Chain A
């Protein structure tokens, strides 16, 4: 069993805007390309050109169709990665201490040197946000690009997770939820950010900004005349008024 810190100085995480996400998968692939070359073991792929290609991804986008009470059916794109929970069950279940939550910023990480690939953490995570790498035999998960966000070798404005930097629709926001004035805290407050599956008691740090209510205009225009001749008379008057 591994213990969680009582308190973290920061609560770094993502605000994901479900109103704006078009489901383009940019975040999924940008995450893969950054992380396969950086923190820990590569994100491997088995049978990549064969009948059953399967690889490790730290972020995946799902799509759900729903039928609101009024109006047409809707499609919502739902990106999902580790939510860096305050009460992360994946950490407390870890038998070796490999899974841990950082006290300075709340990021949940796996120390791959100590991971034996038992998979308990993936079972414990209610979100399915961890994937055991088939080749390396270690557990992989979102690191919030911990090797980018503090990296002095990267220009300051790019010290954000790869998925956030690449998102074309600007549907992903990174920041500190412990700071009520941060960009993400403000977005969460303004847009009514929701925790995923709060009943699980995991207290996720990441928040989802729900789709705004859809609306269709109502009303109709008033004709200037009923007859085509009347339209010409209107035209003449309108031109005179210009």
Chain B
């Protein structure tokens, strides 16, 4: 046998940073050999991934070395879409940007629309936009999952997503709704593995049985868009059987608060005392008292009359609503595509585990009213949900229904249930209200985004016209807490509500897979007015790679790869906290860029200084932050509170609060790229009501004063908007929106048919059409990745096996015409049995435009891959009333991607690919013909 060295050197050095192949933010150990990245593995000490790493993370080498990397600032030379550019210097780039932007700031800041994609530096980019003074700023949440975020915040002060997690250690039953690969990708896999090892059960609710649903103990193949109805039927069953946690409801929710039930302007509002405090009935005396009165047992069963009005505890309105026979399993079964017996059995199983398998932790704690509890009672049923339920026009109320189910079971923030991660929980009232007050030459009057509590918080001018280009926080989408990025290009092109001058985008492929109606969006981006100028005059874009969007911009600011940059994954933004700990992290340049590129945030520091933006210049007008790293260390949002919470103070000994520490980044690097501080044991559960948690949150700087609150089973803010739609109050919606708002802004969640479905002849378009991202490409840019694209470089439309047979598809004879009310594409199909019988689906964002991503124009992604985006419109089919009705959730404006209806038919022989595009020029050339990565750093290159 050959003499084998089983102990060869692994690498020359390990540098620890944070992954950025998706939004998971895992810790990574980057091995360097001879100065090159030679191996990337998970950081075992890191709180997010504890050593594991997914396929994306492990393929980071190929992302870092992608031939699609931009090399220098680019100025467009050909027409938009051609891909023809010249390389320019950063000075030239900044001069051009300043030439366009400085006059806007002086005269009309709203003519800049600045929207960012999947970066996680919103607390920084929003600061820049606020200083510029434009109201037109948001990140990509509007087309991502704002329904999930907003429903969670308004209902319970926190959402699924990465803002909370199942109690993976203790839960005995996990029910997941509409979860494909999504936030948090590695923690979910780790958690499922942990549950499997313990013998805990998983129920997957999803039209498609793939991924997590494939390993679920039970799969419920629901019909898309009906999750809310299914959930309300589960609630119906639980209520009817009395399987609800009354103690939890009375103590920790507004179930006991007295609601006016007389028809009229006061219907649905809480009875309040002179101090504005909502009232509850004291079960001992039958008298109303403020909700926060200590040592009172709230009554859920009584009612009272005062000044001619009747008041009932909110719980009674909830019970009346959901005990209605319309939510009985038999009544919803067919619509949901789930047997009534399955619905009944699922409710029974939830109740059995929640109440018969109750767990207790002997951890004494004190609640917000000062009452001491000797133990923590847990209901070991956890839920998780993502885009499958939220990307529908009924997604907000569906997500809210799911939270009500969790709350009725008493399984939020208890052992075994769903747990928040700091900075959540946080009541909606503790979030800012949105702002759009523009003063030329000055900053905006406050933060752009927030959580409206009443119609007066909307961003409308005196005529009721939306102040924002995306019409966020207007009557069309009152609670659009993340803005509506998917409406920006369409509205800017239409000049509705006004025209803009410069569209400035970061890391969002809006000319391709991140837009609905891609073909039409491309027309909008390239459309010219009568004088031959582009309708959207200027487009600035920052990306690290030669994406489709690059070709449609006039000026490109080239970003770095994730291994070449500084970033902070900040408590001010979307940190990496765990349910048991606060944590944040950094990226730092573990390798230096070999191109003339710059982290986008550093470029904004430069550009902000050139524009003289307050906060980006010193008093003498000089540049305040040399780069993003300088900002990360030295920016203070409030005194002592900065982007990074670890090693603060001049001595570096403080956590959360403290003066800027010039060696802070070095400290993070020494600690593996992250900071982690455990929540005290008595503060780890019951967080919204736990005095120890509230005190800890103040100490760490999450809030400045304790802010306990109750969960909102009855949402008074929603009722305030509904009330306006009924004609009450000062701020009134336009008449054409009244009926829709009255329906949508219901203070108790309810289910309604998705709008696209109502507007479509479902006999002609009988199938629901969905997408998901492959796990190995989720939230990443996989097509340019030499390793990942070998796993997936084409997609097929998976259709129910019966449909496959009906149309006579066969292998090699599998091209279909897929038609929606909005368009037609060609797609190759494949049969799938583990699929809802009314649903087709495909992998998203596999199809690429020829010439993009430094791929050969005849790459399979361009020739065989396809997007469903061409079939989805940002507007609903015209109703004949002459109005533009958005294909969005009416509460939040979230893009209703998954409301799509299609029909399929076999494509006649010889049908050409539809749509098809001429190849765009590649500003970065093409990749090499072969790769043998690792050859150059092997110790003996001959072996």
Binding site for B on A (CB under 8 A): 17, 19-26, 28-30, 32-34, 36-38, 40-55, 57, 65, 67, 72-77, 100, 102-103, 109, 111-114, 135-136, 146-147, 149-154, 157-158, 162, 165-171, 211-212, 214-224, 228, 231-232, 234-236, 238-239, 242
Contacts and interface: CB of A to CB of B under 8 A. Distances in A.
Interface in B279-313: 283, 297, 299-301
A22 B211 CA distance: 5
Contacts of A151: 6-8, 10
B1 A55 contact: no
Contacts of B835: 73
Given A22-B189, A169-B189, A231-B239, 18 more contacts: A22-B775, A29-B58, A33-B58, A45-B933, A49-B859, A49-B928, A53-B793, A67-B833, A103-B1, A214-B219, A215-B217, A220-B347, A220-B348, A224-B241, A231-B242, A232-B316, A239-B283, A239-B297
A233 B542 CA distance: 63
B119 to A, nearest CB: 24
Contact of B928 (A32, A48, A77, A231): A48
A50 B775 contact: no
Nearest to A222: B241
Contact of A25 (B33, B67, B776): B776
A40 B221 CA distance: 47
A147 B54 contact: no
Interface string B7-20: 11110000000000
Contact of A55 (B250, B790, B856): B790
B498 to A, nearest CB: 43
B7 A153 contact: yes
Contact of A171 (B44, B193, B856, B863): B193
A113 to B, nearest CB: 7
Contacts of B56: 29
A202 B937 CA distance: 37
Contacts of A76: 214
B561 interface: no
Nearest to A166: B53
Contact of A29 (B6, B237, B788): B788
Contacts of A165: 41-42, 51-52
A48 B786 CA distance: 5
B323 interface: yes
Nearest to B935: A42
Contact of B41 (A43, A166, A219, A235): A166
Nearest to A242: B247
Contacts of B217: 212, 214-216
B242 A72 contact: no
A20 B786 contact: no
- The 7 nearest A-B residue pairs measured at CB: A49-B927, A221-B241, A37-B934, A73-B833, A168-B189, A48-B786, A217-B349
Given A19-B215, A74-B209, A216-B342, A51 B301 contact: no
A48 B853 CA distance: 12
Given A222-B241, A232-B316, A44 B776 contact: no
B345 A238 contact: no
Contacts of A136: 932
B53 A168 contact: yes
Contacts of A170: 190, 193-194, 197
Interface in B311-361: 316, 319-320, 323, 341-342, 344-349, 351-352
A221 B790 contact: no
A65 B56 CA distance: 25
Interface string B190-208: 1011101100000000000
Given A22-B192, A34-B39, A168-B190, A50 B859 contact: yes
Given A168-B193, A170-B193, A215 B59 contact: no
Q: How large is the interface on B (under 10, 10 to 19, 20 to 34, 35 or more residues)?
A: 35 or more
Interface in B920-937: 926-935, 937
Contact of B789 (A22, A46, A53, A216): A53
A61 to B, nearest CB: 8
B834 interface: yes
B246 A242 contact: yes
Contacts of B462: none
B323 A231 contact: yes
A24 B1 contact: no
Contacts of B935: 41-42
Contact of A221 (B4, B348, B938): B348
Contacts of B161: none
Given A24-B775, A228-B320, A221 B243 contact: yes
B880 interface: no
Contacts of A242: 246-247, 250, 297
Contact of B775 (A25, A113, A218, A232): A25
11 contacts: A22-B212, A36-B933, A36-B934, A45-B786, A53-B790, A53-B793, A111-B2, A151-B8, A165-B41, A214-B219, A220-B345
B189 A219 contact: no
B240 A221 contact: yes
Given A157-B44, A168-B53, A49 B221 contact: no
Nearest to A147: B8
B692 interface: no
Given A75-B210, A170-B197, A224 B240 contact: yes
Nearest to A38: B8
B242 A234 contact: yes
Contact of A42 (B7, B352, B774, B932): B932
Contact of A46 (B4, B186, B929): B929
B218 interface: yes
Contacts of A222: 241
A146 B1 CA distance: 14
B33 A37 contact: yes
A45 B787 contact: yes
Contacts of A147: 5-8
B218 A216 contact: yes
Nearest to B244: A238
Contacts of A54: 790
B299 A135 contact: no
A53 B6 CA distance: 32
A75 B209 contact: yes
A181 B215 CA distance: 28
Given A19-B196, A147-B5, A147-B8, A44 B856 contact: no
A100 B1 contact: yes
Given A26-B52, A37-B933, A74-B209, A217 B218 contact: yes
Contacts of A223: 240-241
Contact of A49 (B54, B67, B193, B240): B67
A235 B301 contact: yes
Interface string B43-81: 010000101111111110100000100000000000000
Contacts of A43: 934
A50 B5 CA distance: 37
B241 A45 contact: no
Contact of A24 (B342, B776, B789): B776
Given A37-B33, A72-B834, A32 B787 contact: yes
B802 interface: no
A211 B215 CA distance: 8
Contact of B52 (A46, A167, A216): A167
B568 interface: no
Given A44-B931, A111-B2, A239 B246 contact: yes
Contacts of A216: 217-218, 342, 345
B622 to A, nearest CB: 44
Nearest to B196: A20
B776 A217 contact: no
B39 A53 contact: no
A146 B214 CA distance: 32
B931 A55 contact: yes
Contacts of A146: 4, 6
Max chain B CB contacts within 10 Å: which of A24, A29, A154, A238?
A: A29
Interface string B233-276: 00001111111001100100000000000000000000000000
